[in-house]
Amino acid sequence: MEMVRKSKWGIEWLEEEMKMSQPSVILATGGYDHTIRFWEAKSGRCYRTLQYPDSQVNRLEITPDKRFLAAAGNPHIRLFDVNSSSPQPVLSYDSHTGNVMAVGFQCDGNWMYSGSEDGTVKIWDLRAATCQREYESRAAVNTVVLHPNQTELISGDQNGNIRVWDLTANSCSCELVPEVDIAVRSLTVMWDGSMVVAANNRGTCYVWRLLKGTQTMTYFEPLHKLQAHDGYILKCLLSPEFCDPNRYLATASSDHTVKVWNVDGFTLERTLTGHQRWVWDCVFSVDGAYLITASSDNTAKLWSMSTGEAIKTYQGHHKAVVCCALHDGAAESCHSSAA
């Protein structure tokens, strides 16, 4: 497929990685052993370990320019330099009072957003490490995603509420409750803003088509209800732009599997089996050809989407691995991602 060349997952990638001091593929994992590990994706070698003494690591995210890694813990967020040998964080973001369960970046990396079990969604000035805005969800926030329009945050909480936070109007513009008191564990938005999926503690995915209103507000049109797993869904993720025209939904579960669904009809494409315990997180490669997963079995795995086989297992953590981050594309900005 033509799009495959946008990712560096072959001989070309290996040669380039050996030539460069900065890896072209950044893969990091974190969890309950209070460490963050950086891996050579192809060889499986861990080349850097960071200590995170304050708490477990709940979530990892790499900045669009590939320079920094945000690690969300309890209750802090620490920002590390990807290319430095320093074990110390560059900055710390400190005003949450509970576990930080979600973190992400605006497309130019100017600001960061987060969601916490303290019931708030926050927006941070990345460089000043100050909280610019705070939104009250009134329940523990499990997941937050940024709409591709860069002007709306969507959060999901422990009471089953989904809220859209309009950053232009600085208010909540929409509320949805797919199932009362059934926790929303994960949200994902299609790269073109056309669809949002919410996964809950009953193994159900709710799918909506997103329609733009006359204002900035996004309208949700119910599209599909998918009973994906019998156990909890801990992460749901829609495939990236360069995977098109194929569009997939990955669901990671407490049943030890990840299922890959074709968004056209939501038919099951394949089931990824190999983890021995809960699968907490997953992330696609830039072209959608590979998937990285993180599990309570103390490992992360690299999977081929075409075969469903585990190509590599990343071993080194001593406790549950609950988050993973991957950036294997070009350094991005709002302009390049919109091009």
- Which pLDDT score is estimated for 13? 41
123 phi-psi bin (left φ>0, alpha ψ -120 to 50, beta other): beta
Q: pLDDT-based confidence at 212, cuts 50/70/90?
A: confident
Q: Any residues with CB less than 8 A from the CB of 6 and at least 6 apart, and which?
A: 242, 286, 287, 329, 330
Instruction: Characterize 180-203 residue by residue with b for buried, 16 or more Cβ atoms within 10 angstroms of its Cβ, and e for exposed.
Output: eeebbbbbbbbbeeebbbbbbbbb
How many Å apart are CA 143 and CA 147, to the nearest integer?
13
Would you say 71 and 60 are in contact if contact means Cβ atoms under 8 Å apart? Answer: yes
User: How much is the average pLDDT of 101-129?
Assistant: 97
Q: What is the pLDDT of residues 70-110, one digit of tens each?
A: 999 999 999 999 999 999 999 999 999 999 999 999 999 99
Would you say 50 and 338 are in contact if contact means Cβ atoms under 8 Å apart? Answer: no
Would you say 293 and 281 are in contact if contact means Cβ atoms under 8 Å apart? Answer: yes
Q: State the Cα angle at 137 between 136 and 139, rounded to 5°.
A: 125
Show the beta-strand stretches assigned E in 32-129. 35-39, 46-51, 59-62, 68-72, 77-81, 91-93, 100-105, 111-116, 120-125
Q: Which CATH superfamily is domain 104-322 in?
A: YVTN repeat-like/Quinoprotein amine dehydrogenase (2.130.10.10)
Q: What is the pLDDT of residues 15-45, one digit of tens each?
A: 444 344 567 899 999 999 999 999 999 999 9
Q: What is the pLDDT of residues 167-211, one digit of tens each?
A: 999 999 999 999 999 999 999 999 999 999 999 999 999 999 998
Would you say 224 and 207 are in contact if contact means Cβ atoms under 8 Å apart? Answer: yes
- Beta strands 184-189; 195-200: pairing state: antiparallel
Tell whether pTM > 0.85.
Answer: yes
